[in-house]
Amino acid sequence: MRRNSFRIALSAAGLLTTFLTCSSYAAKRSSSGGDSSPITVVIDAGHGGYDRGGIPGQRVSEKEMTLDVARRLRSVLQASGYRVVMTRDSDVFVPLGTRTAIANSQRNAIFVSVHFNSATRRGASGIETYFYGRDSLALASAVHHYVAGGAPSENRGVRRRGYFVLRRTNIPAVLVECGFLTNPTEAAYAQNASYRQKLAEAIASGVRSRGSVASSRSTTRVATAESIPLQPYIDQTRVTKSKKSRSKRSAKKSTRRKKKTSSKPADIEARVASSDREG
């Protein structure tokens, strides 16, 4: 009788040990995205060095705001156990190709590029989140859910666009536009340290919750404590045939004209080439 009781006790202890081991392993896999290595977050502070960011005559420097938010985001994520790699950690210029190379060299990683917006119209305002690859939509949805949801600014939505740093990365990647520095109200927000801290914490919340984004098959569009809705998005990667034909006609006409010095063609060229800029 004693021998049977002893065997039962040993068996129960063995089952308990196995259960605890499996639970610990499952928790580690959950926090690491299913890989044995911890998740690495590559944080990209937009612009830097001679590239001030924004538009000519802009009073608030974008490169300074992005670096500050990026550093704060690093601290928040490291406190949560993430491994963090910065594309720049000082006021230096880093080519776009180098930024994507840094991202693509990391295993089990995601890429978050931090930017602020600008426009010639002072009234332009709001938060935007960009992605390109389909595997990045969940990350974009989660980040935008928290950043736009916590900011006192207009929600301009999630957008799909072929920015260089999104197009050339092989890992889930997003670019967050944290407001317009050319808008007096949003510029004032950005210059407040506590607001930049809130932005960093909101982005970090999105990173942590990227696995809780509901699939496109979900019947509910309301976020619960367990899930975040997959965000609808504006696809800005498509060019209609009419636009293409107009561009071709314009190109033919331009070859017949004499070259003129004008700011308007330069502005048009800048907009056409925007997909190869940072944002």
SS3 content of the chain, % helix, strand, coil (to 5): 50, 15, 35
Domain-located, residue 141: yes
Q: Is the dihedral of CA 187, 188, 193, 196 positive or negative?
A: negative
What mean pLDDT is reported for the chain? 80
Say which DSSP state 20 is in. Answer: H
Q: How confident is the model at residue 38 (pLDDT cuts 50, 70, 90)?
A: confident
Unique residue bearing structure tokens 């060019």: 239
Candidate from 75-84, 90-99, 219-228, 258-267 with smallest mean pLDDT: 258-267
Nearest-angstrom CA–CA distance, 110 and 170: 9
User: What CATH number has the domain bearing residue 76?
Assistant: 3.40.630.40
Domain-located, residue 250: no
Decide if 159 contacts 233 (C-beta within 8 A).
Answer: yes
Nearest-angstrom CA–CA distance, 173 and 191: 26
Domain-located, residue 21: no
Domain-located, residue 253: no
* Predicted TM-score (pTM) of this structure: 0.75
Give me the domain span that covers residue 155. 30-235
Decide if 38 contacts 207 (C-beta within 8 A).
Answer: no
pLDDT digits (tens, 9 = 90+) for 77-114: 999 999 999 999 999 999 999 999 999 999 999 999 99
Q: Greater confidence, 248 or 185?
A: 185
Nearest-angstrom CA–CA distance, 84 and 233: 28
Number of structural domains (the chain) is 1
Nearest-angstrom CA–CA distance, 113 and 180: 16
Domain-located, residue 148: yes
Domain-located, residue 217: yes
pLDDT digits (tens, 9 = 90+) for 80-90: 999 999 999 99
Domain-located, residue 261: no
Domain-located, residue 61: yes
What single string gives the DSSP state of each residue in 109-127? EEEEEEEEE--SSTT---E
